[in-house]
Amino acid sequence: MKYNRLLCAGIAVSLLCISSCPTPSTNAQAPSYASPTPTKGRAYYEERGDIVWEVPTHRKLIALTFDDGPDKSNTPAILDLLKEYNAKATFFVVGSRVEKLPDIVKRERAEGHEVGNHTFYHSSFQYISRNKALSELDQGQASIVQATGAGTHLLGPRRLLYRFVSQALQREGTENYFMVLASGHLGLAKTRHTPYR
């Protein structure tokens, strides 16, 4: 039960934070994403603003996220269902799939859903070079811009190796992404891999 509450809180945080993230047209300075290590606790990261676990609210909220799309049959069915119930979601899209099915991603945006960058080829970042990882992010962003006319500040890298991705972004001076940590990624954020060769 505690895990479910934590999961729901994390998802709710994602939705609440989406609306407060700067868009490309604002001049707000993006937060600095440091590299978290398992030795530092929750209070350390919350104080710095690097990681937000929850946003206190009395409202009943749930965040829906869908990864690895778009898909020509499943994604339209999901969009139809969300529309029927007047619900919104975040779609973390793979750039190579966006290029094949841009109209579906246009529809996601047109119907008021958030679109996030899930890389271009859906590569595992711990097995590719830092430059390749950054290229995947850039290509994913470009495919979203091409399909919808606007980029995204949401990033959901495969297996969410937060520490490694944030280090790569920080080294490049690219700090305008808000990384979303979903339930399936909770244990993976602390995995020990050598991501860059």
Chain segment 110-150, per-residue pLDDT in tens: 999 999 999 899 877 777 777 888 888 889 999 999 999 99
Ordered by start, the domain boundaries in the chain are: 63-190
Residue 67 in contact with residue 90, Cβ under 8 Å? no
Token pair 């841009």 in the structure block, residue: 102
Kindly report the pTM of this predicted structure.
0.66
Distances (CA, A) of 83 to 63, 73, 111, 165, 169: 15, 16, 8, 34, 35
Q: Cα separation of 79 and 52, whole Å?
A: 28
- In sequence order, which ranges of the chain are alpha helices (DSSP H)? 2-20, 42-48, 74-84, 95-100, 102-110, 130-148, 162-171
User: Mind listing the pLDDT tens digit for each residue in 139-158?
Assistant: 999 999 999 999 988 887 66
Tell me which architecture the domain covering 63-190 has in CATH: Alpha-Beta Barrel (3.20)
- Write out pLDDT tens, residues 155-195: 876 665 555 566 666 655 555 566 655 545 444 444 333 33
The 10s digit of each residue's pLDDT in 49-108 is 666 667 788 998 888 989 999 999 999 999 999 999 999 999 999 999 999 999 999 999
